[in-house]
Amino acid sequence: MKCTLSYLAGLMTLVLGTSAPAWAQDPTVQLKLGAFAQTTDATVSSGNDTGGTDLSLQTLGHDDSQTNFWVSGKWQFAERWQLWGNISQFDSEGSVDENFYFEFGDLDIPADIDSVEGELNIDSTFNADLYIVNLGYELYQSPALKIDAGLGIHVVEFGLSMDVELQANDRTESLGSESSEVTAPLPNIVLFGQWNITERIEASTTLGWLSLNYDDYDGELTALELEIDYALTDHFGIGAGYRYIDYGVTKHGERLTSSFDSLFEGPTVYAVMRF
């Protein structure tokens, strides 16, 4: 036991020792690959002027937590200018056997469905693909602190599809299938801060926000990200953080109005390369 403790103490001294290499100075390119253990709270509706029935993923039998992968990159293409991007995807499937009235697109479950003998079986698939690009400009820099501000765009692709069947008297009757999709570019204001705590430990935070109406879209976005990087070598490190991304997108079509309100939040871990 004493040998094990001595070994662990020596390993920690080696890892945390001040003689270890620091981050590459003024890297031009940074790449991150991570996993996001996210909790998802999403509500979807599709209908006429009323927008249809608000359906949550939990009501449709989806899990509210899932781990997904993401990738991001940053390019310092000028002394005070940087370009940053992030790609992440979320897919979820759910099934529920329960009788309840709702409207979704052209799918209209009868209001008296509770009185029907048998059960509704609702199979659904939800997807959210997020593509982010931000252009940042350095406002302030000191040996330990850096603050950037910029403009960006979040391209969000939301989709929900479902198949509904009525199972009664040993028979299965299809009540129909329906899907709703919204793809919207959402411009946003971005504020980025970076704090070099030690030569090998760096903390950063990113805040993005928007609220606007344009063409057939109504959009809202609040994004907060906190991260801490730890340098293992000059060019490679690991990190952990927390993300909070709240989207609200409504598309007013010629016949139907579709709305997606989605909140993604949770811890994230990643590997980072700089060169």
Give the tens place of pLDDT for each residue, 150-196: 999 999 999 999 999 988 777 888 889 999 999 998 899 999 999 99
pLDDT at position 115: 67
Q: pLDDT (tens digit, 9 = 90+) per residue, 140-149?
A: 999 899 999 9
Query: Is the Cα dihedral 106, 112, 114, 117 positive or negative?
Result: negative
Percent of residues, the chain, with pLDDT higher than 90: 67
Q: For residue 221, is it within any domain?
A: yes
Q: For residue 48, is it within any domain?
A: yes
In angstroms, rounded to a whole number, what is the distance separating the alpha carbons of residues 132 and 224?
13
pLDDT at position 224: 96
Cβ(195)–Cβ(204) below 8 Å: yes
* Widest distance between CA atoms in the chain: 75
Residue that has been written with the tokens 């479902």 in this structure? 162
- Count Cβ atoms below 10 Å from residue 80 Cβ, excluding itself: 11
Range of the domain at 266: 28-274
Q: For residue 2, is it within any domain?
A: no
Element (H, E) at 42: strand 29-47
Q: For residue 7, is it within any domain?
A: no
Q: For residue 5, is it within any domain?
A: no
Q: What is the CATH number of the domain that holds 46?
A: 2.40.128.90
- Mean pLDDT, the chain, rounded, equals 87
Q: Residue 231 pLDDT > 80, yes or no?
A: yes
Q: Which runs of E-coded beta strand occur in 142-200?
A: 145-168, 171-196
Mean pLDDT computed over 2-25: 45
Q: For residue 17, is it within any domain?
A: no
In angstroms, rounded to a whole number, what is the distance separating the alpha carbons of residues 175 and 106?
11
Cβ(204)–Cβ(194) below 8 Å: yes
**In 3-state terms, what secondary structure has residue 113?**
helix
Specify the pTM. 0.84
Q: Which residue has the higher pLDDT, 189 or 116?
A: 189
51: confidence class by pLDDT, cuts 50, 70, 90: low
Q: For residue 19, is it within any domain?
A: no
Burial bucket for residue 259 (CB in 10 Å: 0-12, 13-18, 19+): buried
- Count Cβ atoms below 10 Å from residue 117 Cβ, excluding itself: 8
Question: Residues near 245 by Cβ (< 8 Å), separated by ≥ 6?
Answer: 130, 221, 222, 223, 224, 263, 264, 265
**In 3-state terms, what secondary structure has residue 255?**
coil
Report how many domains make up the chain.
1
Q: Residue 10 pLDDT > 70, yes or no?
A: no
In angstroms, rounded to a whole number, what is the distance separating the alpha carbons of residues 49 and 68?
35
